[in-house]
Chain A
Amino acid sequence: MNLAAKSEAKAPQRSHEAIRVEGLHKSFGAHEVLKGVSLSAREGDVVTLIGGSGSGKSTLLRCVNFLETPSSGRIVIGGEEVRCRPDGTPADRRQIERIRQSLGMVFQSFNLWTHKTVLENLIEVPVHVLGLPKDEAVARARKLLARVGLAEKESAYPAFLSGGQQQRAAIARALCMEPRAMLFDEPTSALDPELVGEVLAVIRSLADEGRTMLLVTHEMKFAREVSDHVVYLYNGLIEEEGPPERLFGDPQSARLKQFLKSVS
């Protein structure tokens, strides 16, 4: 996945900025969900988005990899700006696909492919989209499964795994593309409380090895521990942001104080 070589003209900037969002607006019909949001994550940063339900966290994350088309604003991934037509839709389908391959997304509902075994889930995109030889992909996948503690489950179908196991497999599936950054959308919200810990442990280990990630979570204690930067979203705008110690330890805005009280 040689992103730099493939991207034309615009060389990656030297800032080592992995993800940059500028002035992002997004409306669904007349309903404006994002009202001008800017944020950036440098290589190795863990940027966490917190906020109430419906504040636009998922929409923001989904705009980054164009699962939703932004109404306006700029998205720059690894120094490469996504080219858009005047109406805001992406101009180059191939560019979008390439950028998505460089961003590993993990969903609240896991979304493992039900008709494929765990191993088949992991190697699907590396083999059939990225063109990696199958034996190499399998070796890579087995290493990742061992890492997330699922080595014995490679031949199981997702429906036969617990929620925590499915989410760990989904994380391994995203890692198997060797992405530049990870996007997590409430990865533990659908889990029974006793299964949350095992998934957070995997995410923590990724943070510890210096993975770039954009993380949406309601696990405030976890967010405080792993984040480099925390963004509090309220009603489609950034209400307050900063390092975790300050945001959680000394919140300024009344809304954030109220929010932190409600989730603790």
Chain B
Amino acid sequence: MDSTLGLLALSPPGWGGTLLIGLWASIQIAVGAFGLGLLIGLGGAYGKIYGGPVLRDCLGVYTTVVRALPELILILLLYFGLTDMVNKLMLALGYGRIQISGVVAGVLVLGVVQGAYATEILRGAILAVPPGQIEAARAMGMPAGKIARRITIPTMLGLALPGLSNLWLIATKDTALLAIVGFNELTLATRQAAGTTKAFFTFFIAAGVIYLAISLLSTWGFARLEAWARRGDPPRVAGAR
């Protein structure tokens, strides 16, 4: 027991600090990728609904391909593909190679994956907004951008949040896949600690507990958010369904 606590101590020779640094990196990437995914998803959803045929086709290819391929392949493909492309571009423009930071690369790669799923979630939610809500805003002379921000998006939020909550959990777990490209997030930190000390069980249990805590906390947070977004929903009549 003492040795277990010693292994997890925050300062060396304990590995707790290393795990926390890994956790922090995972959270940064998950938040960044989820945020980027939401932005892409919002643009993608509006593009799919209101865009011209070319834009709609492009978005269709994007969401279909990204959702069809295993995430691991996408991450390898995008990670090496994107960094390679950026550097080719830099060389072509006469600049030297640049080092893309792990966090930025991780956010970009996972963000592109998240964006595809977010596009579909948000598109469905926007289409489920009763047309009268938007029509009332149009009839009162609200400009289109304001209608999106102040009417459509708040109204569809309650419908989108269950899907987005799932997507966020996937984001937190997909950060572990970045270990494959050598990014020092929680899972890689855990592997290092386990490999060095040979206390595999201790460290992977510890990592598991951390992932579980993140999941429980965010499920609670999203439930609160959804309750708020649904504040205007009709009262549930007892016995109805």
**Interface of A toward B, CB cutoff 8 Å:** 65, 67, 93, 96-101, 103-105, 107, 109-116, 124-125, 128-129, 157-160, 174, 177
Contact = CB atoms under 8 A, between A and B. Distances in A.
Nearest to B149: A128
B138 interface: yes
A97 B139 contact: no
A104 B233 CA distance: 26
B143 A97 contact: yes
B95 to A, nearest CB: 43
5 contacts: A101-B140, A103-B139, A114-B133, A115-B154, A125-B141
Contacts of A104: 140
Contacts of A129: 140-143, 146
Given A103-B139, A125-B141, A174-B140, 16 more contacts: A65-B139, A97-B141, A100-B141, A105-B139, A107-B132, A109-B132, A111-B133, A113-B133, A113-B136, A113-B232, A114-B233, A125-B140, A128-B142, A128-B146, A157-B231, A159-B232
B132 to A, nearest CB: 4
Interface residues of B, number: 23
Contacts of B138: 67, 100
Contacts of B231: 115, 157
Interface string B135-170: 111111111001000110011001000000000000
B154 A111 contact: no
A118 to B, nearest CB: 11
A116 B133 contact: no
A93 B138 CA distance: 11
Given A113-B151, A115-B154, A101 B232 contact: no
Given A65-B139, A97-B142, A129-B143, A114 B235 contact: no
A98 B143 CA distance: 10
B229 interface: yes
B141 A158 contact: no
B112 to A, nearest CB: 31
Contacts of A105: 136, 139-140
B13 interface: no
A113 B136 CA distance: 8
Contact of B132 (A96, A97, A111, A174): A111
A58 B234 CA distance: 28
Given A111-B132, A128-B150, A116 B232 contact: yes
A24 B233 CA distance: 40
A123 to B, nearest CB: 12
